[in-house]
Chains A and B, each alone.
Chain A
Amino acid sequence: MSDPVSSAPLQRSPLHNVHLELGGRLVPFAGWEMPVQFSSIVDEHKAVRESVGVFDISHMGQILVSGTEAESFLNQALTNDCSVLAPGQGQYSLLLNDDGGVIDDLIVYRTSPKEFFLVVNASRIAEDWAQLEKLAHGNEEVELANASAVTAGVAVQGPRSAAVCRHLFGVAAPFPPRNTIFVAASASGFMWLCGTGYTGEEGFEFFMPATEAEGWFRKILAAVKEEGGLPCGLGARDTLRLEMGYPLNGNDLSPERTPLQAGLGFFVKLDKPKFVGREALLNQKEAGLPDKLTALRMTTASPPPRPHYPILVGGENVGEVCSGTQSPSLGCGIAMAYLPPHLSAPGTALEVEVRGRRFPAEVVKKPFYSKKNG
Chain B
Amino acid sequence: MSNVPDNLRYRESHEWIDPKQDPAPVGITDHAQAELTDVVFVELPKVGAQVQAGDQVAVIESVKAASDIYAPVSGEIVEVNETLTNEPGLINTDPYLKGWIYKMKIADPSVADVLLSPDGYRTHIA
Q: Do A and B come from one complex?
A: yes
Chain A positions within 8 Å of B, measured between CB atoms, are 1-3, 36-37, 39-42, 235, 239, 301-304, 306, 325-326, 328, 355
B14 within 8 A of A: yes
Q: Which residues of B, 32-88, contact A by the 8 Å Cβ criterion? A: 32, 35-38, 40-41, 43, 59-64, 66-70, 85-86
**Considering only CB atoms, which chain B residue lies closest to A332 in the complex?**
B40
Determine if B30 is an interface residue (Cβ-Cβ < 8 Å).
no
Q: Which residues of chain B from 15 to 42 have a CB within 8 Å of any chain A CB?
A: 15, 28, 32, 35-38, 40-41
The answer to whether B61 touches A2, judged by C-beta atoms less than 8 angstroms apart, is no
Contact A41 B60 (CB under 8 A): no
* Assembly CA distance A306 to B3 (angstroms): 31
Whole-angstrom CA separation of A2 from B62 in the bound complex: 13
**Chain A minimum-CB-distance residue to B37:** A40
A306 to B60, CA, bound (A): 14
With A1-B28, A37-B37, A42-B38 given, is the CB distance from A303 to B43 under 8 Å? Answer: yes
Interface-centre pick from A3, A301, A303 (highest chain B CB count, 10 A): A303
User: In this complex, what residue of B is CB-closest to A327?
Assistant: B63
Q: B93 interface residue, CB < 8 Å from A?
A: no
Residues of B within 8 A of A306 (CB): 66
B13 touches A302 (CB 8 A): no
> Judging by beta carbons under 8 Å apart, are A304 and B40 in contact?
yes
* Interface of chain A, main secondary structure: loop
Q: Assuming A1-B14, A1-B32, A41-B38, is B85 touching A301 (CB within 8 A)?
A: yes
CA gap between A36 and B37 in the complex, in Å: 12
User: Of B32, B36, B43, B64, which is in contact with the most chain A CB atoms at under 10 Å from its CB?
Assistant: B64
In the complex the two chains form, what is the Cα distance from A42 to B61 in whole Å?
13
| Residues of B with C-beta under 8 A to A301 | 41, 85-86
Cα A92 to Cα B41 with chains together (Å)? 36
Q: How far apart sit A37 and B59, CA to CA, in the bound complex (Å)?
A: 21
* Contacting pair A235 B64 (CB below 8 A): yes
Closest residue of chain B to A325 (Cβ to Cβ) is B63
What's the Cα separation between A303 and B60 when bound, in Å?
Answer: 9
Distance A235 CA – B63 CA, assembled complex (angstroms) = 8
A36 adjacent to B86 (CB under 8 Å):
no
Judge whether A326 and B28 touch: CB under 8 Å: no
- Smallest distance from the beta carbon of B116 to chain A beta carbons, Å? 14
Smallest CB–CB gap between B58 and chain A, Å?
A: 10
- Residues on the A chain within 8 Å of B68, using CB: 1-2
Write out the residue numbers on chain A whose beta carbons fall within 8 Å of the beta carbon of B41.
301-304, 326
Residues of A within 8 A of B59 (CB): 303, 355
For the complex, what is the distance from the CA of A218 to the CA of B70, rounded to whole Å? 42
What residues on A are CB-neighbors of B36 within 8 Å?
A: 1
Question: In the complex, A306 Cα to B64 Cα: how many Å?
Answer: 10
The answer to whether B63 and A2 have CB atoms under 8 Å apart is no
Q: A96–B18 Cα gap in the complex (Å)?
A: 58
The 6 closest A-B pairs by CB, nearest first: A40-B37, A1-B14, A326-B40, A41-B63, A42-B38, A303-B41
Judge whether A1 and B64 touch: CB under 8 Å.
no
Contact B66 A41 (CB under 8 A): no
A-B contact pairs, 25 of them (CB 8 A): A1-B14, A1-B36, A1-B60, A1-B67, A1-B68, A1-B70, A2-B68, A37-B37, A40-B37, A40-B38, A41-B37, A41-B38, A41-B62, A41-B63, A42-B38, A301-B86, A303-B41, A304-B41, A304-B61, A304-B63, A306-B66, A325-B63, A326-B40, A326-B41, A355-B59
| Bound Cα distance from A353 to B6, whole angstroms | 40
Contacts of A239 in B (CB 8 A): 63
Most buried by A among B32, B37, B59: B37
- Residues of A within 8 Å of B28, CB to CB, are 1
- Chain A residue contacts of B37, Cβ below 8 A: 37, 39-42
- Counting chain B CB atoms within 10 Å of each CB, the highest count among A2, A39, A306 belongs to A2
When distances are taken between beta carbons in the complex, the residues of chain A under 8 Å from B61 are 303-304, 326
Q: How far is the CA of A36 from the CA of B70 in the complex (A)?
A: 25
